[in-house]
Amino acid sequence: MGTVMIRCPRTGRAIPTGIVSDRIEFRRKAVFIGRTYCAACRAEHEFFAREAWVDELDSRTASEAA
Ligand SMILES: [Zn+2]
């Protein structure tokens, strides 16, 4: 599981959408449009699933801890 991230079109920064999903599960959701508040430029952005990715921080830290 990880946080769904998008690239802010104004600042180019990666911002979390607040959606948590599994990477494989997320790819199955071929088309959806989301809306998230962007802290980088203090505006709402619409995004398509294909523009987003899942940042699986948990799996990375878990493997390092083990
Ligand atoms: Zn933004």
pLDDT for 17-51, tens place per residue? 998 989 888 888 766 788 999 999 999 999 988 89
Total domain count for the chain? 1
Q: What share of the chain is helix, strand, coil (3-state, %, to 5)?
A: 25, 45, 30
Tell me if 52 sits within 8 A of 5, measured CB to CB.
Answer: yes
How high is the pLDDT of residue 41? Answer: 95
Cα(5) to centroid(ligand 1), Å? 12
Report the separation in Å between the CA atom of 66 and the middle of ligand 1, taken as the mean of its atom positions: 36
Q: Take residue 28 and report the two structure tokens written for it.
A: 């199955």
Q: What is the pTM of this model?
A: 0.75
- In this prediction, residues 48-63 reach a mean pLDDT of 76
Average pLDDT over residues 1-23: 93
Residue ranges making up the domain that contains 21:
2-65
